Amino acid sequence: MNASQPQNATHETGACRCASRREFVRRVAVLTALTVGGVALGSERSGASKRLNDDRMAVLVDLKRCVGCRRCEWACAGANGNSHGPIEECDDQSVFSTRRNPSTDRFCVVNRSVGHGADAKPVYAKMQCMHCEHPPCVSACLVGAMRKDPSGPVTYDASKCIGCRYCLVACPFERLTYEYNSRFTPRVRKCEFCRHRTQRGQVPACVEVCPVEALQYGRRDDLLKLAHRRIADHAGEYVDHVYGETEGGGTSWLYLSPRPFEELAEVGLPALSSHSPAERSEHIQHTIFKWFAAPIGVATLLATLNWFTRKGSHS
Amino acid sequence: MVRAIRDRYRDHTDLELHVNALLTSLALAACTFSGLAASPPTPTAQAGRILGPDVVILDQVVGCYGSVRFDHRLHTQMSTIQGECKNCHHELQAGSQQTSEPVIRPCRTCHEPMSTVVTSEKPGLRGAYHRQCLSCHKDWSHENACGYCHTSSAMVRGSAVGTKMPHAANPPRSFAQVVYTYQTGHAPVPVVTFHHADHAEKFGLQCVDCHGGSSCGQCHGSKIERPVVNREESCFKCHTQSRCVTCHDRQERPAFDHSVHTRWWLRAGHAALACSACHVAGEMPRRPTSDSCKQCHAQRWGDTEFDHARTGVALRGDHEYFDCLECHRGGDQAMLASCSSCHTERYVAGERRVGRVLGELPTGFPQPPAGVLHAPD
């Protein structure tokens, strides 16, 4: 009983000292975070266009022209070595009854939006990797397996991939797929913008096969001008917006639609802000580590604290 | 088969027509008809206008599918409803199809066979073809299966010429009801009765007068069973002077009866006439003039001027200058002139005899030429 009192006293004294030190450290941490975060957010944005080629390629999809023939799906499967049946399989319209997402053996799929009203015409929208200007999948990839090519495509290198699937989580369009059924060498599967074809001077397979030329392959700048001119020339026939010009910080796939894009979220055109999710996180992180400032700052802070506490103990 | 071959040669023009796709099984027969092949093509002509070939074989774009046998004549006939040649031949300016020989160039002169990297709005040849066809076909049949147009052999798909009913000649009225009754919210006259058969058959309106749409899909859409009519535009196009009760009523109205509605009974030869024989179609008010009467009563029967004396009543004096309908005012005895409508008691009585009108004419009475009438005896 006698021995317990000094212990209690010591504990109380220690608690007092702990609280003040904890409070001190907490304040310093908050101050540091606010300073660094504020500097990061407030400083100049690093534009994606700086890293990209001015002649980077893109595809313009005109949803008013698309007739939902699904030849793009078939050609895509053929060009990427995925399994597919005869071309007549495209005539099966029953697939439109449910919404489909890209899968490991079908990188592009067409969905139908029936629309509202008695005289609403169906709109068919092709969905595939959008090849973002500032791809979150590239940002999230730990090992650099995902790469944004300055000429437009977002490419995947299976030899580097460690299978973390952060890219699947990061993609705001949910277009990436993973070979969960492959036991030993699973890969992320996605549209590669027909890189193997474009390098040979061909256009992507889906663009080539499209019978109505609803898909057009060209320089992104040219296509944007073309899209805006088409909206102006056909007043009232298109929504005055080019999807992908700014969505998610801009994409290589651009869409023109006769119906409001808000109605087309169900077929793979979700409403996104004009900033890539990757842009902000990368920006904060890059600013913190600019000139190795954060490690130096933290080391300096700790050294200062150490110096003060030592001085206090000496005195 | 002979007729089929003759048709094919007759269709030969400088369009995307391809005559070397004759079936190989007909190779022996081909020499028999070589004389036909040598004759110049005779495009279908209608009402003095060149309407192009009957059939066009589209085989410039070779791919997974066979060529397309395009029934040009059928499409030409259907295009009379809306847009005419410009529906497809978009390079024609407005009105240029009215010329006897419109300059129509093959699509391939402008559209390249295959577009690759896009620099302009101009589609490639394949895109141009497909967009042109599907712009209507997707609307009205929702048909986009390739085999609908493409065939493995150009000759497999038989000619649609003559097998389908072109709109201009055979409007699809069989789908329409005789009468439509609408309940509106306009009390106390909520009922609007629309006698479709009267408008379509008696009044001489063409389908396109009311159902003129911008695309085939307006009538042929899978969801739309009945063609949509913009009543604001269609009804008031003719009924410009009408009041609400012209159409609205308390209850359903009977069909149009000339005797009841106009009080001008149709007798004898008039009963068999079409409305347009006397009334100008689409023109309101519909009251005909002497010109309508003289269409038959003078010119058609060989007389330069109708001799009223042939009826047993010679017109003298002022009556020579009257409009037919001033005397023949209708009613049960429409053909019998009503003298009393002008010659009332105050004219007949006393020194003023019938036929002598002194003083001012009644309001609305046709004004005779100056110096001819009103001279007292």
Q: Are residues B30 and B134 in the same domain?
A: yes
What 3-state DSSP class applies to A241?
coil
Give dist(CA A261, CA A246) in Å, integer: 13
| pLDDT per position as a tens digit, B200-224 | 777 777 776 777 655 566 666 554 4
Q: Are residues B224 and B303 in the same domain?
A: no
Q: Are residues B44 and B90 in the same domain?
A: yes
What 3-state DSSP class applies to A28?
helix
Which chain B positions have a beta carbon within 8 Å of A216's beta carbon?
A: 115, 118
CB-nearest to B127 from A57, A202, A213 is A213
Query: In this structure, are residues B283 and B291 in contact, taking their beta carbons and an 8 Å threshold?
Result: no
Q: What is the CATH number of the domain that holds B78?
A: 3.90.10.10
Which chain B positions have a beta carbon within 8 Å of A213's beta carbon?
A: 115, 123-124, 126-127, 130-131
Is B153 contained in some domain? no
What is the domain extent for residue B221?
Answer: 173-256
The answer to whether A68 contacts B115, with C-beta atoms less than 8 Å apart, is: no
Q: Are residues B60 and B24 in the same domain?
A: yes
Is B65 contained in some domain? yes
Q: Are residues B186 and B234 in the same domain?
A: yes
Q: Are residues B94 and B215 in the same domain?
A: no
Q: Are residues B225 and B296 in the same domain?
A: no
Mutation choice for B interface testing from A57, A64, A67, A116 by most B CBs within 10 A: A67
Q: What is the pLDDT along chain A (315 residues), one digit of tens a residue?
A: 344 444 444 444 444 455 677 887 788 778 777 766 655 555 544 444 567 888 899 999 999 989 888 999 999 999 999 988 888 888 888 899 999 999 999 999 999 998 887 667 789 999 999 999 999 999 999 999 999 999 999 999 999 999 999 999 999 999 999 999 988 899 999 999 999 999 998 899 999 999 888 999 999 999 999 999 999 998 888 999 999 999 999 999 999 999 999 989 989 899 999 988 888 888 888 888 888 888 899 999 999 999 988 865 554
Q: Are residues B119 and B11 in the same domain?
A: yes
**Which class would CATH give A48-134+189-275?**
alpha beta
| pLDDT per position as a tens digit, A151-199 | 999 999 999 999 999 999 999 999 999 999 988 899 999 999 999 999 9
CA distance A246 to chain B (A): 21
pLDDT score, position B153: 46
How many whole angstroms from its chain centre is CA B14? 31
What total of structural domains would you count in chain B?
3
Q: Are residues B31 and B79 in the same domain?
A: yes
pLDDT of B8 > 50? The answer is: no
CA distance B130 to chain A (A): 5
Counting one residue from chain A and one from chain B, the pairs whose CB atoms sit within 8 A come to 59
Q: Are residues B246 and B312 in the same domain?
A: no
The answer to whether B117 contacts A203, with C-beta atoms less than 8 Å apart, is: yes
The answer to whether A203 contacts B145, with C-beta atoms less than 8 Å apart, is: no
Q: Are residues B134 and B232 in the same domain?
A: no
Is B263 contained in some domain? no
Listed by start position, the domains of chain A span: 48-134+189-275, 277-315
pLDDT of B46 > 50? The answer is: no
pLDDT score, position B220: 60
Q: Are residues B23 and B81 in the same domain?
A: yes
Is B180 contained in some domain? yes
CA distance B262 to chain A (A): 40
